[in-house]
Amino acid sequence: MRYSNYFIFLLLAMFSCSGNNDSNRKVRILNLELIELNEPNKIFDWDTIDGPDLFITISINDKVRFTSNKMENPNIINPPVTFKIDSNIVFQSISDQIKLNLYDKDDGNDQLILKDFNFNPALFEESPYYEVITCAVCFATFKITYGIAD
């Protein structure tokens, strides 16, 4: 009798999980904000007079899908820094791999500050949804706002 109850429980669990599961839904990045920047010129030798000229790239499955305006955020000394996001950054919330790169724009070569910072949104039901993520090996904390793509 015990095994039949266990079997019924397993069947119910399988059907409830395989039903109308939209957890791997299409998600859009609505806003990306750098909310913490720990004294950038004391950590890295960037711009000697002022702060870094920040811009980002966002890749989906190792293909760059967005590059922010390189002149949008010059001489950043204090956060927050808001990057204007293209509304066409749409991805599958679970199956796609999202990477963020952060750069300091320089006259010669742009300096890579943060390379391949992976992030994916938590599962959410209400849109818009935001989360705060911190890079453990760098100097920055980001606030990313997501929306469900139609």
Q: Spell out the domain ranges in the chain.
A: 23-148
Q: How much is the average pLDDT of 26-46?
A: 74
Taking residues 99-110, report their average pLDDT. Answer: 79
Q: How far is CA 16 from CA 10, 92, 93, 122, 124, in A?
A: 10, 22, 20, 20, 18
Query: What is the rounded average pLDDT for all residues in the chain?
Result: 75
What pLDDT does residue 46 have? 55
Residue whose token pair is 């030798």: 45
Helices and strands of the chain, counted as H and E runs: 2, 9
Nearest partner of 41 among 53, 28, 50, judged by Cα: 50
Q: What is the pLDDT of residue 10?
A: 55
132 DSSP β-pair partners = 143
- Residue 59, Cβ density class (10 Å: 0-12 exposed, 13-18 middle, ≥19 buried): middle
pLDDT confidence bin for 15, thresholds 50/70/90:
very low
Q: What is the pLDDT, as a whole number, of residue 81?
A: 82
pTM attached to this predicted model:
0.72
CATH topology assigned to domain 23-148: Immunoglobulin-like (2.60.40)
